[in-house]
Amino acid sequence: MSAIWYPSPNAGARRGGLVPSLIVLHYTGMRNAQDALARLCAAEAQVSAHYVIATCGTLWQLVREEQRAWHAGAGAWRGQSDINSRSIGIELVNSGFQPFSEPQMRRLEALMGEVMARWQVPPVNVIAHADMAPERKEDPGPRFDWRRLARKELALWVDDLGQDKPLQTSLDAIGYPQAAPEKRLQAFRFRFLPWREGPETEFDRRRADAVAGAFHDAMG
């Protein structure tokens, strides 16, 4: 897939000989691509991503996939830290308060298909920024359509309900890092129960148990 090369200085070698095994999806938190590109390419900002996709579907590449982009920051997933060295970061131009456009989603799906094939990234290893940093991040948020990606085998989605087990135990099993319980619940809901709010419920616990089982099965 052709992308506009728009190099960011905020990159380096992946540490410890690591290669991409995860894809982390973000939103930019900005209303337009120009502002997002400017920040992701500003040396003083010390942030970047491998790809940026505009609402119209235009695709930019800022960092070579072989390199370590600075998109994930502090956090962990399934007990592993330094997510930047383990992942490809994709930024979707979105303020956080708007739907993701159809051209943007189509371009994302095409890009993900190529990246996942190139690096043998399974759907279970496609995560939200909020998944690996629930204390700090909310993106790509409840408006993002994870079910749509799962239908195309680009992510994991679960509609089933499991048993009423302790929520935090299930979130541990899924791979969420340690954080305040309410932040972990929020990140989980953004991903698997969008728009659900309020105190923890039995429905949250049963969905989390089902997700934990699906992750276990997918990881082999």
Taking the CA atoms of the chain, what radius of gyration do you get in angstroms?
17
Catalytically active residues are 91
Contact indicator for 77, 122 with CB cutoff of 8 Å? no
DSSP type of residue 86: H
Beta-strand runs (E) in 51-164 = 51-53, 59-61, 67-69, 87-92, 126-128
Does residue 166 have a cis bond before it (omega within 30 degrees)?
no
Q: Under DSSP, is residue 117 helix (H, G, I), strand (E, B) or coil?
A: helix
